[in-house]
Structure 1
Amino acid sequence: MTEKQPRGLAKLVVLSRLMVWGRVLPPTRTPAEVGLTFEDVAFPSTDGLRLRGWFVPAAAARRPTIVFVHGWLWNRTGNVAGQVPFHDVDVDFLPITKTLHDAGYHVLLFDLAGHGESQPRPPLTYGPHEARDFAGAVAYLRTREDVDPGRIGVIGTSAGGNTAMYGIPQCQPIRALLAVQPTRVPRFNRRFARTEMGPLGPLAARSVDLLYLAMRAPLPSRHDPGVAAPLLGETVVQYVQGTGDPWGEMSIVEEFSRRTPRSLGVLTHPSTGRYEGYRYINERSDDVVAFFDQHV
């Protein structure tokens, strides 16, 4: 962040607000920066919220499509570093979008509710409610004559991976999911809160449940994409976890993999932090394309 970083109680307040309400960061770049034509699109989530995004068409019609589902505090372009009061790095969806486009895929990039230019739905639930946004995106794609409705793949990063896991059972068939560092919110929040807020951080993170209870939303302490994993059915899933992630846990992703009917296992990606792990999609872009070529 360009402004002075908050400390102590001020940081606790800022982080708690970000965890519950998020931060709207409209995109400032477009696929034109990597030489792609695109359409501005809008469609509803399954509970009626207006979502905004871009559809990047392949050279030929009636093609398979890859949907990007971004993480917490991101937008359809990925993550823009320096906008939050903790360590992060840029995670750019545009290069891998071009790679997929050049390989013959349509690509849909969109903002989840409460992010980018999409309508808010407080509080953030890191998957259970955002699954309605993913299902709305898939429903929109299946209205397009240039999209093969039975050949849709997904890239989900962090909370976007959670969202896809919760959402795919609602809109099958989805051929393949690349889930990059999905996690359970309670475990993530405890580690994140201790790193960023000190010894009292985990207690503050747990207390957020009271606010979610008042807002009649799924409790963070009960968040578990592992419950959705057995429901992924015929969707082929490749999990990815960074080796240097201080907040997520390899064991959790491995458990998700074991519970997924058609999992290819967990790939490890060398990283020095959590955000560096998301860079798998660009640093191993040939592998990403090969995964979708085989399974979509």
Structure 2
Amino acid sequence: MADATRERGLRKLMHLTQLMVWGDRQPITRTPADVGLAAEDVSFTATDGIDLKGWFIPSGAPAGPAVVFVHGWLWNRTGNAAGRVPFVDRDVDFLPATKALHDAGIHVLLFDLSNHGESGKRPPLTMGRWEARDFNGAVHYLRGRDDVDPARIGALGTSAGANTVMYAIPGGPPVKALLAVQPTRLPVFNRNFARDVLGPLGPAAAASTDLLYVFLRAPLPSRHDPAIPARELGDTVVQYVQGTGDPWGEMGIVEGFSSVTPRSLGVLRYPSTGRYEGYQYVSKEADDVAAFFTAHL
């Protein structure tokens, strides 16, 4: 019995390590048509040439503002579909907020980050460091469209997607407003996540992934800290959102990001009973999402 338990634990550890380092590709099961929106299939490249796929949802406004959605770990352009991972998660649907933005006269770009959805590969996952190239490629794409005002581009990022935008802005084209939902420092997230999912030995296993990243010549998880680029967000207006019941992230970390962000509106404390319930701010408070961008784009 003990041997079988250890074997199950080892298999789970290996599966989670695979997901953390190489990710997974959720199938796209929702489309803008589900909320009555027409969308263009679009392709563009990250700033290092990786092919990226997505949808552009035009609002009908000539030379209007646009918002880029940047999804989290293991998700795709429409958010998260629950039940595909070996831990408890919840649905997170980007389409209600997409509809609210469209109805407010704002174009929307939904796209798959590298190693996710239908986009190209760039292993391993770095939870924002290398994915910043994807976001800047998306902004360059929008700036090249005649129907988008290049001075009025915003971003909505969730979790690793929020980290991605924070890392991207200082070295990329200007972004006027950012709604950053539950960004975090990767060492803290990995430690808390591993303890919750794997038990007391989980944090040690999570910390050991640094060795794999050395071998892969990728940025080390232990050195991941979005507070560093947060100081360089310049004129970007940032609203942070953090769930109050998040077991993997920490309110104090997001408050720290906010404290060094030049134009932060502070941290919106969203009532939640878990991490995914915090992400559901985007799904359940679509009108508030649209109001933020309407005010700041």
Please show how residues 146-185 of structure 1 align to structure 2 within 5 Å: 146-185=147-186
Q: Residues 164-217 of structure 1: CA distance to partner in whole angstroms, max 9, x if unpaired? A: 000111223211000000000000000000111111111110110011001110
Q: Once structures 1 and 2 are overlaid, which stretch shifts more, 178-187 or 22-31?
A: 22-31
Q: Does 1:73 align with 2:74?
A: yes
Could you say which residue in structure 2 is the equivalent of 1:10? Answer: 11
The Cα of 1:279 is off from its aligned counterpart by: 0.9
Q: Does 1:37 align with 2:34?
A: no
Task: Give secondary structure in 1 for the equivalent of 2:208.
Answer: helix
Gaps of 5+ in 2: 1-6
Gaps of 5+ in 1: 1-5
Please show how residues 1-296 of structure 1 align to structure 2 within 5 Å: 7-296=8-297
The Cα of 1:60 is off from its aligned counterpart by: 2.1
2-structure distance, mates of 1:291, 1:112: 24
2-structure distance, mates of 1:283, 1:38: 22
Task: Give secondary structure in 1 for the equivalent of 2:240.
Answer: strand
Identity %: 69
The Cα of 1:28 is off from its aligned counterpart by: 2.1
Is the CA contact (8 Å cut-off) linking 2:127 and 2:163 kept in structure 1? yes
Q: Residues 68-127 of structure 1: CA distance to partner in whole angstroms, max 9, x if unpaired? A: 000000000000000000010000001110111011000000000000000011100000
> Across the two proteins, how many residue pairs are aligned to each other?
291
2-structure distance, mates of 1:18, 1:282: 24
2-structure distance, mates of 1:7, 1:98: 43
TM-score of the two chains, using structure 2 as the length reference: 0.96
2-structure distance, mates of 1:285, 1:239: 15
The aligned amino acid for 2:188 is R
2-structure distance, mates of 1:17, 1:59: 42
Task: Give secondary structure in 1 for the equivalent of 2:213.
Answer: helix
2-structure distance, mates of 1:277, 1:200: 26
CA RMSD after TM alignment: 0.9
Is the CA contact (8 Å cut-off) linking 2:56 and 2:109 kept in structure 1? yes
